[in-house]
Amino acid sequence: MEKLEREIRESKFSELMNKHFAASSIPKGLYCLSLRLTDEYSSNAHARRQLPSPELLPVLSNNSYHHFVLSTDNILAASVVVNSAVQSSLRPEKIVFHIITDKKTYAGMHAWFALNPVSPAIVEVKGVHQFDWLTRENVPVLEAVENHHGIRNYYHGNHLAGANLSNTTPRTFASKLQARSPKYISLLNHLRIYLPELFPNLDKVVFLDDDVVIQRDLSPLWEIDLWGKVNGAVETCKGEDEWVMSKHFRNYFNFSHPLIAKHLDPDECAWAYGMNIFDLRTWRKTNIRETYHYWLKENLKSNLTMWKLGTLPPALIAFKGHIHPIDPSWHMLGLGYQTKTNIEKAKRAAVLHYNGQSKPWLQIGFEHLRPFWTKYVNYSNDFVRNCHILEL
């Protein structure tokens, strides 16, 4: 009996490891899409046309518009976020999307939105290499993250091989694997902490992760009074499910670490990244970025013993006291974790968030949750069709 239980347990951990690698890989169709669009950018002048057109450039810093920020290297996911936001909007002519991507994806991302305009909404595509101040001298924490002697082993999970898992639950193991996603050492994932500097002329933006779908007009978000706070976010400590909506600080931090125990309350409510209203004017009067840098460096100095779950923990500390809770119906999380998602509740949510490993563009995505996302994929597009996107 004991042998059978051990074999079942080992099989479960093996399944979780395989799922982790499936989630971390780039599907062949998405790789094809990026490659073909990059080639199109180099050979087709229309794919290189200025975004937005010169006469619309003043709109990029006009605070009477609704400015969304999206930071991603996934072209298909970006197209779904933008399409769903525009199609769900009552006033799409007021929407401005600022898409930031990395250098290798820039040409393909630009080509997609140049060839597939979402008029009357406005789209700007920029690469991180186009922000002059975004250098290692100005953002020293990036170099610290990249050069830390243990961080690559940690994030690529090398020390998990052959590890003693006898005292580890499958859920804990899955959480540790999730934290080892390569995106957590990506500059794109840290970019949101620099929003006030990236957009010096904007007063308020809504930041969206690339694994969301918008189902409702989001313009009322700009009318929400944040009561002097910086970050309007959905709290994630009021639900029952163990994966997403029942999170307190104790779920993210190691309270046996003296610095954590001294400064944080294990019962404090966590909140969600992925759909956030940021008051940039108020943010500029704070030391949020410096606090984020300080704690990120402290965790590196302590060999990653203060927390193990990606970029949310340092943000939980940095934005402490700067959060204004918004209604949970604005942001429904967990569609990349849960197979028991309430479909009726999902239909009513303004933003659906596929946080978790089972992204809708992956084979491991949940079939019954995929249609919320795929309805915004343009399957008639030549590039999508020729790359056999989502022919699962």
Angle CA 98–155–244, to nearest 5: 65
The predicted model scores a pTM of: 0.87
Residue 249 C-beta-side C-alpha neighbours within 13 Å:
19
What was the pLDDT predicted at 342? 87
What was the pLDDT predicted at 161? 47
Tokens of 6: 């051990």
- The structural domains of the chain, ordered by start, are 25-247+273-386 (3.90.550.10)
What was the pLDDT predicted at 20? 43
- For the beta carbon of residue 322, count every other beta carbon within 10 angstroms: 19
What was the pLDDT predicted at 341? 84
269: nearest Cα among 298, 242, 247: 247
What was the pLDDT predicted at 264? 98
The span from the CA of 149 to the CA of 135, in Å, is 21
What was the pLDDT predicted at 38? 97
Which alpha helices (DSSP H) does the chain contain, by range?
2-24, 28-43, 75-88, 103-115, 140-147, 151-155, 170-179, 187-190, 195-198, 258-263, 280-283, 288-301, 312-318, 343-348, 371-374, 382-386
In the beta sheet, which residues pair with residue 288? none
In the beta sheet, which residues pair with residue 101? 127
The span from the CA of 380 to the CA of 281, in Å, is 42
Tokens of 378: 């343009």
pLDDT in tens, the chain (392 residues): 566 666 555 555 454 444 444 444 578 999 999 999 999 999 999 999 999 999 999 999 999 999 999 999 999 999 999 999 999 999 999 999 999 999 999 999 999 999 999 999 999 999 998 988 776 666 655 665 555 545 555 544 544 444 555 556 555 555 554 544 545 557 788 899 999 999 999 999 999 999 999 999 999 999 999 999 999 999 999 887 777 889 999 999 999 999 999 999 999 999 999 999 999 999 999 999 999 989 988 988 888 899 976 789 999 999 999 999 999 999 999 998 876 788 999 999 999 999 988 999 998 888 999 999 999 999 999 999 999 987 64
90: nearest Cα among 73, 66, 108, 112: 66
The span from the CA of 117 to the CA of 124, in Å, is 11
| Residue found under tokens 């563009």 | 361
In the beta sheet, which residues pair with residue 212? 353
| Residue found under tokens 């309270």 | 255
In contact, 122 and 56? CB cutoff 8 Å: yes
Number of residues in the chain: 392
The span from the CA of 131 to the CA of 141, in Å, is 17
263: nearest Cα among 272, 254, 271, 273: 254
Tokens of 53: 């057109």
| Residue found under tokens 């918008």 | 214
In contact, 338 and 185? CB cutoff 8 Å: no
Tokens of 325: 């809770």
**DSSP of 141-187:** HHHHHHH-TTHHHHHTTGGGTT---TT--HHHHHHHHHHT-GGGG-H
